[in-house]
Structure 1
Amino acid sequence: MARTTKTPQWSTADIPDQTGRTIVVTGANSGLGLATTRALAAAGAHVVLAVRDTARGEAAAAGIPGSTEVRRLDLADLASVRAFAAGWDSPLDVLINNAGVMNLPESRTADGFEMQFGTNHLGHFALTNLLLPHVTDRVVTLSSGLHRARGTRIHFENLALDGIYTPGAAYSQSKLANLLFTLELQRRLSEAGSPVRAVAAHPGWAATELQGHDANGVRRALMLVGNRFFAQDAAGGALPTLYAAVADLPGASYAGPGGRLELRGAPVLVDRSPEAADADVARRLWDVSQELTGVGFPASLPSR
C-alpha cells in the first residue's frame, strides 16, 4: 500500500529566532495585531506597538513577555503619520501594516478622506513610504478575502463613494487597494534594485473586535454569532501575517489560511482576484494616493 506524505503545517513554532530584529506592528493593542506582536516578541524581536491610544497600548504591552515599546500613530490623521515617521531614526527590519477599520458608518478622516479608504490604505501608504528608507527586510500589508466581493473595484471617479456609500463596499475597496499597493510597491522596489520585499496577507475569518464595529446591527449580530461558532481565534488569524513576516517568500506574495474557502487553517500562499493583479490599476492607484497624501516613493534608497 502506498504511503501518503502529509506536508507539515506552518505554525508559530516555525518562526525563526528574531533576536536583534526590530518590527513595527500598527494597531497592535488588540486582536490580530496583539497576537502578532506577542508571537514576534516571544521569538526575540523588539516589537513597536504603533497605536492610536497609547494607554491601551501600554496596557497591552505590559502583558507581553519580551522586548516592546509603544508609540502613538493615528492612521486617520496624516499629521500623526508624519510625526511617527519623523521620530524614527534607526533600522527597521519589518513593517507590518495591520491596523484597520471595518464596515463603519460613512465618515471622514482628519484630512477629509473616506474613513475606511483613508485609514486602511492611504494612512499605510504614507507611513510605508516615509519609513521605507529605514526598512531592511520587508513590508507586510493586511488585506482581506473581501477584496473579492462582487463588484469591488477602485472608484477613481468617486473614492469616497459619495451618494453610493455602503460600509461593505467601502471596506472591500480599501482591501483591494491594500493588494494593489503591495503589487506596485514591489515593482518599484525591484526597479530600484532594493532587496526589500512587499508582501500581503489576510487572516481568513478571525474572531476579533473589528467585526463588532459594523454599522449594520443585524450584520453585526450575525458576525458575532459566527465569531463564536465558526471563526478561529486571533492567534490563528495572525498566522498568515506571521508567515508573511518571517518566511522566505517572493515579493508580492499573498498569504492566507489554507483551509476551506481560506477561512481558517495553517498559512499558505493564496491567489488574489484579477482586479487585485492589474498592474495598470496598481500604478494609477499609486499616483492618486501620492497626490492625495503628498507622500511618494523615496527618491533614493540606501544600499544594503
Structure 2
Amino acid sequence: MVKVKKWTSADIPVQTGKVVVVTGASSGIGLETAKELARRGAETILACRSLERGQQALNAIRSEIPTSTAKVMPLDLASLTSIERFSQQFRDQYGRLDVLANNAGIMGGAYTKTEDGFEQQVGTNHLGHFALTGHLVDILLATPGARVVTVSSLGHRNAQLDFDNLFYEKGGYGGSAAYFRTKLLNLLFTYELQRRFERSQAKAHSLAAHPGFSATKLATEVANRLKAALLFRLFNTLVQGPDMGALPTLRAATDPDAKGGQYYGPGGWFEERGHPVVVSSSEASHSETDANRLWELSENLTGVRYSSLNSKGSD
C-alpha cells in the first residue's frame, strides 16, 4: 500500500509576485492563512472589519516575517457600501488578484440585521462574500489561474434551506441553524461560481475548504457555552489549532494539483482534525436548481451582477 504524504504548510509553493486577499484575517484561521501566504512571498491584504485588530495581526506577521509586504485594508462584510469601497480601493491599487480567500464569518448570537436589512449571518457570511467576489470578478478573470476559496463548515450538513424564509422574517431563527445555513450557501455559491467560470472558459477557479473542529474564536465561543466539565474536556480533545485549521484553505489556494470545484477538509476522524485532503459535501450543496435560485436572489439583493460571466455563460 502506497503511503500518501501528508500536506503541510511546507508544501506551499513560492508565492512571490502574487497578490492575495484574505477576509477576516485579524485572528484565527484567517490570520494563519494570511501569515503563511506572506511567508511564501505573496503580497497579502488583510481585509478586516476592525483596523485596530487588523493592525495587531499585521504587526504579528511582520514580527515573524520582517520581509513581508502585507497590509491591512478595511472591509465590513455586513455593509454593501464598505464592500464596494474596499473593492474600488483594491482595483485602484492592484492590477491582479491571484487568491481571494473568503474566510470571514460570524456564528450564532441573537437575531440581528445588517445595515442593509439582511439577517446578520446570511448577510455577512454569504451575501457579503458574494458581493465582494462579484466586485472583484473582472480582476480575477484577468489574472491567469486565479482562485476563489470560500470557507464552509462541517455544519453545512445540518442546514435547512428555505428560500421562502431565508432571513427568518417568518420566525424560526436559531443562531446555530442560521450559521449552518450560511455554510450551505457558501458551498452552493462555490460550485455555481465554478460552473460559470467553466461555461465562460475562464482561467479562474472556485474551490471551498473547511477547517474541521479548530480552536478559533468561533470554536471558543462554542466551548464557552459548554457547561459540563466532561463535554468541555471532550471539546479540547477534538479541536486542533488555527495553524492546522488553515491548511485546507491554504491547500485549496496554492496546491498546483487542486482543481476548481474541489472541497478540502481535514483527512482525519470525521473530518474534525488532520491534514487536508479532498472531501465530499452534502447532496443539498450540489443542487444546481438551488444554486441558480440563490445566485439570482443574491444578485437582486446585493445589486452586484457578474456581468462578465453572465454575458458569456448564461443559458
- Same fold by TM-score, threshold 0.5 exceeded? yes
**Shift of residue 6 of structure 1?**
1.0
Report percent identity of matched pairs: 47
Q: Which residues of 2 match residues 104-123 of structure 1 at below 5 A?
A: 104-123=109-128
Q: Which residues of 2 match residues 263-278 of structure 1 at below 5 A?
A: 263-278=272-287
**Shift of residue 228 of structure 1?**
2.9
Q: What is the identity, as a one-letter code, of the residue corresponding to 1:295?
A: V
Question: How many pairs does the alignment contain?
Answer: 296
Task: Point out where structure 1 has 5 or more consecutive residues left out of the alignment.
Answer: none
Q: Is the 8 A contact 2:197 2:309 kept in 1?
A: no
**Structure 2 residue aligned with 1:41, among 38, 41, 53?**
38
**Shift of residue 298 of structure 1?**
2.9
CA distance in 2, matches of 1:32, 1:224: 21
Alpha carbons of structure 1 residues 274 and 213: separation in structure 2 relative to 1, 3 Å:
same
**Shift of residue 215 of structure 1?**
11
2:177 is equivalent to residue 175 of structure 1: no
In the TM superposition, what whole-angstrom CA distance separates every residue of 1:147-201 from its partner, at most 9, and x where no partner exists?
A: 001xx23210011123100111100110000000011111111111101000000
**Structure 2 residue aligned with 1:27, among 24, 28, 32?**
24
Q: Is the 8 A contact 1:207 1:227 kept in 2?
A: no
Q: Is the 8 A contact 1:132 1:298 kept in 2?
A: no
Q: Which has the higher helix share?
A: 2
Q: Is the 8 A contact 1:213 1:220 kept in 2?
A: no
Alpha carbons of structure 1 residues 219 and 85: separation in structure 2 relative to 1, 3 Å:
farther
CA distance in 1, matches of 2:112, 2:288: 30
Q: Is the 8 A contact 1:102 1:214 kept in 2?
A: no
Counterpart for residue 17 of structure 1? 14
Q: Which residues of 2 match residues 186-201 of structure 1 at below 5 A?
A: 186-201=194-209
Task: Point out where structure 2 has 5 or more consecutive residues left out of the alignment.
Answer: 311-315
Once the two structures are overlaid, the 10-residue window that deviates more, 243-252 or 117-126, is 243-252
Secondary structure at the aligned position of 2:165 is classed as coil
Secondary structure at the aligned position of 2:112 is classed as coil
Q: Is the 8 A contact 2:20 2:45 kept in 1?
A: yes
Alpha carbons of structure 1 residues 58 and 219: separation in structure 2 relative to 1, 3 Å:
same
Q: What is the identity, as a one-letter code, of the residue corresponding to 1:251?
A: G
Counterpart for residue 155 of structure 1? 162
Alpha carbons of structure 1 residues 213 and 114: separation in structure 2 relative to 1, 3 Å:
farther
Alpha carbons of structure 1 residues 156 and 204: separation in structure 2 relative to 1, 3 Å:
same
CA distance in 2, matches of 1:262, 1:119: 25
Secondary structure at the aligned position of 1:92 is classed as coil
Q: Taking structure 2 as the reference length, what is the TM-score of the superposition?
A: 0.90
